[in-house]
């Protein structure tokens, strides 16, 4: 199969994307999709455009034998998570794909990958409008485009001393799944299944991000680990924070399976998993204490749990405390691709 047939067969939508109930981006925003030199989009009047690109590399971001449907899901999900963190709604995405020759011939793999990507794209009204295919070591690069009312985007730099620090959903499970799949730890089958779902099919928090417009003072998505990503938010805002490391460690979804399991899963391991694990694709955000009820309502409306885990302070840096308020030794670092 040639590259043009490959695009035609697997990636060109054969029908307009179904509008998802929670995704207000109108299909009429797509003026021209796959098949020309560029796609053409018409953002709604008064909107700013949000854009983000992420690249996933075989052997680094995913295993060579990863489920292709899950991979298609995840490649788009990590990008949609960036739109969520800005409070933006999706408009469209592009996919650039380098495929080794054996993958380019593997129609079952391509169909499953494209299907996983399309299912998530349809669910969030974020159609694939263009891209590129080439031969090369397996590499997936997705760019998402979204829109947000001018001036309402959630940025990293708006946290102020006195604000409270929140996170969405659960944390650390993706890391546990990775450790278990690598054979570094053992997890009971139901725990592994649940954790693996979080690793392979993260949920971009788009409804929550939109709901936090006008409420959150700053926001970031958690891709490299809580400590490092919150560190970026603090640096951008010129502030510091104290985080209750034990409240954070309790956000592991499969924690019930870990508590009684002895040494490997001690408190420090759980803290480290949540603070440095990465691949969570949850939102960390700040809001003034007076907005607490509004934050909780936004979480309920988006059907996404939200948890307060700390507060912003004027002194730069990230300080960790335990459940009793005592300082926790901070040796936790974020993931760095070149470290």
Residues 225-264 that bind a copy of itself (CB under 8 A): 232, 236
Q: Does 86 bind a copy of itself (CB under 8 A)?
A: yes
Provide the minimum distance between the beta carbon of 265 and a copy of itself in the complex, in angstroms, as a whole number: 29
How many chain residues are in contact with a copy of itself, going by CB under 8 A? 75
Torsion of CA 171, 227, 284, 326, to 10 degrees: 90
In whole angstroms, the minimum distance from the beta carbon of 283 to a copy of itself comes to 9
For a copy of itself, give the closer residue by CB, 89 or 163. 89
The yes or no reply on residue 132 touching a copy of itself (CB under 8 A) is yes
82 part of the interface to a copy of itself, by CB under 8 A: yes
| Residue 228 to residue 334: CA distance in whole angstroms | 4
Which backbone phi and psi does 221 adopt, to 5 degrees? -95, 150
User: Residue 49 or residue 323: which is nearer to a copy of itself going by CB?
Assistant: 49
* 1 or 314: CB nearest a copy of itself: 1
Calculate ∠ Cα 285-286-292, nearest 5°. Answer: 110
Residues 28-67 that bind a copy of itself (CB under 8 A): 31-32, 35-43, 45, 48-61
Q: Does 129 bind a copy of itself (CB under 8 A)?
A: yes
Scan residues 100-119 and list those touching a copy of itself (CB under 8 A). 101, 104
> In b/e form, how buried is each residue of 160-197, taking b as 16+ CB within 10 angstroms?
eeebbbbbbbbbbbbbbbbbbbeeebebeeebbebbbb
Using rule CB under 8 A, residue 136 touches a copy of itself: yes
Q: What is the DSSP letter of 106?
A: -
Q: Return the structure tokens found at 47.
A: 């909107």
Q: Is 95 in the site for a copy of itself (CB under 8 A)?
A: yes
The answer to whether 338 contacts a copy of itself (rule: CB under 8 A) is yes
Q: What is the rounded end-to-end Cα distance, in angstroms, of the chain?
A: 39
- Please tell me what DSSP assigns to residue 29: G
């Amino acid at each position: 199969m040639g590259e043009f047939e490959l695009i035609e067969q697997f990636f060109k939508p054969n029908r307009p994307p179904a509008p998802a109930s929670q995704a207000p981006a109108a299909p009429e925003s797509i003026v021209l999709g796959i098949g020309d030199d560029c796609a053409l989009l018409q953002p709604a009047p008064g909107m700013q455009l949000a854009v983000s690109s992420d690249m996933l590399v075989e052997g680094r971001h995913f295993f060579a034998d990863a489920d292709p449907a899950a991979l298609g899901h995840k490649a788009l999900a990590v990008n949609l998570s960036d739109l969520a963190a800005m409070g933006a709604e999706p408009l469209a995405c592009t996919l650039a794909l380098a495929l080794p020759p054996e993958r380019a011939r593997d129609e079952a793999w391509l169909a499953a990958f494209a299907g996983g990507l399309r299912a998530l794209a349809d669910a969030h009204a974020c159609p694939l409008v263009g891209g590129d295919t080439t031969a090369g070591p397996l590499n997936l690069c997705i760019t998402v485009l979204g829109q947000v009312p001018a001036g309402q985007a959630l940025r990293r730099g708006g946290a102020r001393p006195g604000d409270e620090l929140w996170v969405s959903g659960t944390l650390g499970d993706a890391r546990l799944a990775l450790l278990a799949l690598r054979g570094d730890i053992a997890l009971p089958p139901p725990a592994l299944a649940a954790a693996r779902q979080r690793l392979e099919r993260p949920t971009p928090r788009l409804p929550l991000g939109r709901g936090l417009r006008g409420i959150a003072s700053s926001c970031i998505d958690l891709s490299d680990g809580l400590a490092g990503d919150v560190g970026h938010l603090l640096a951008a805002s010129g502030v510091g924070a104290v985080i209750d490391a034990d409240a954070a460690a309790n956000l592991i979804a499969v924690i019930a399976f870990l508590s009684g399991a002895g040494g490997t899963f001690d408190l420090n391991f759980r803290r480290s998993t949540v603070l440095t694990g990465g691949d969570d694709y949850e939102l960390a955000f700040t809001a003034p204490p007076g907005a607490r009820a509004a934050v909780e309502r936004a979480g309920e409306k988006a059907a996404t749990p939200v948890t307060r885990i700390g507060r912003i302070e004027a002194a730069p840096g990230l300080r960790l405390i335990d459940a009793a308020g005592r300082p926790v030794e901070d040796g936790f670092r974020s993931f760095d691709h070149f470290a």
